[in-house]
Amino acid sequence: MDKALSRKPSPERRRKRDIPKMIIVAVLTVWGLIVFYPFYNSVLVSIVPMSEYIRQPFMLYPPELDFSSYKFILSWTTLSSGFKTTLIVTVFGVAYNLFLTVTMAYALAKPIPGRRIVNLFVVFTMFFQGGLIPSFLLIKDLGLMDNYLAMILPTGIGIMNLMIMRSYFYTIPVELEEAARLDGAGEFTILLRIFMPLSMPMLATIGLYYCVDRWNEWFHGLLYMRSVDKWPLQLLIRNMLASTSSITNLMPDSVKPNVFAQGIQMAVVIVTIIPVAILYPFLQKYFVKGLTLGGIKG
C-alpha cells in the first residue's frame, strides 16, 4: 500500500501534465470562436436596423432589435415557392437516393460473378462523367425540362456513400443471412428484415449527407428549370446575393427606411439553414456511429 501511494504523482507533476491539455483546449476554444463568430454576426446583422449596421458592422450584441428583414422575406412570395421546390426535391430525392444506394450496395456486397468489374466501373464514374452537354440533351429529349424530376433523377447515387454503405454491409454476420435463407426468406426479405434494421446508424448518416446535398441543390435548377416559381431555394438566394441592388428596388416605400440589403441577405441565409440545423441534432448520435462503423471493413 505504501509503495502504491509513493508512486502517485505529485500535484506539481500533475499540473505539468495538464499544461499541454490546457494549451490544446485554449487553442481549440479560440479556433471555435473564430469559426462561430461569422455565423453569429450574420444573425445579428439580420435583426438590427440599418443605422446600427452602418455604425458597427461587426457586433458582439444587438444594440437595438428590428425584425423588418424577416417580415420582408416572409412576405416574399418567390421565397415561399423556392421553399416548396426545395422541399419536394429534398423529400423525394433523398428517398430516391437511399433506395438506389441501399439496393446497389446490397448487391455489390454479395459474391456475385463480375462483382469486381462492376465495382471498377462504379469507381470510374467518380473521376469521369458523361459531360454537361450530353446530360442536358438527355433531359431535353426525355421531356423533363421545367419538371421537378430533372432535379431528382440525374443525381441518383453518391459513389462515396455507396462505398461506405457497401463496406458496412460487409460487417453484418453471414450467419444471420444463412439462417434467414433456411427459413425461406428471399433477397428482398433479407434486405428489409435483417440488413435494414441493423443499418439504421449508417442509413441516418447517408440520409443526412443526401439531405444536405438536396437542400443545397441549385445547379440543376439553373440548367433545367425555366419557370421562376419552380426555382429551388438556393438558386433564388444565389441570384439575390449576386445583385443586392435588385432587392432594394423591390422594396415598398413604407419599409425602405427599416430594411437594407445586407440585413435581408443574412435573414434569408439564416431562414434557409434552419431546417437542416433542426434535423442534425436528432441524427447526431446515428451520424457519429455510422461514420465509425462504415470504415471498419472495406
pLDDT in tens, 135-154: 889 899 999 999 999 999 98
What is the residue-averaged pLDDT of the chain?
80
Average pLDDT over residues 57-75: 81
- pLDDT recorded at residue 93: 93
Cell of 47: 435583426
Cα(150)–Cα(221) distance, rounded to whole angstroms? 8
Grid cell locating 131: 459531360
Residue 88 clears pLDDT 90, i.e. is over it: yes
The pTM is what?
0.75
Which cell numbers hold the place of 221? 435548377
Angle subtended at Cα 243 by Cα 232 and Cα 145, rounded to the nearest 5 degrees = 30
How far apart are alpha carbons 123 and 116 in whole angstroms?
11
User: What pLDDT, in 10s, does the model give residues 227-244?
Assistant: 888 899 888 877 776 665
Predicted pLDDT of residue 1: 45
CA distance 205 to 164: 10
Confidence of residue 249 (pLDDT cuts 50, 70, 90): low
CA 298 – CA 287 distance, rounded (Å): 19
Measured on CA atoms in the order 185, 189, 195, 197, is the torsion positive or negative? negative
Task: Yes or no: say if 268 and 79 are a contact pair by the CB < 8 Å rule.
Answer: yes
- Which position has the higher pLDDT, 110 or 101? 101
pLDDT at residue number 31: 92
Q: Could you tell me the sign of the dihedral formed by the alpha carbons of 56, 61, 65, 67, in that order?
A: positive
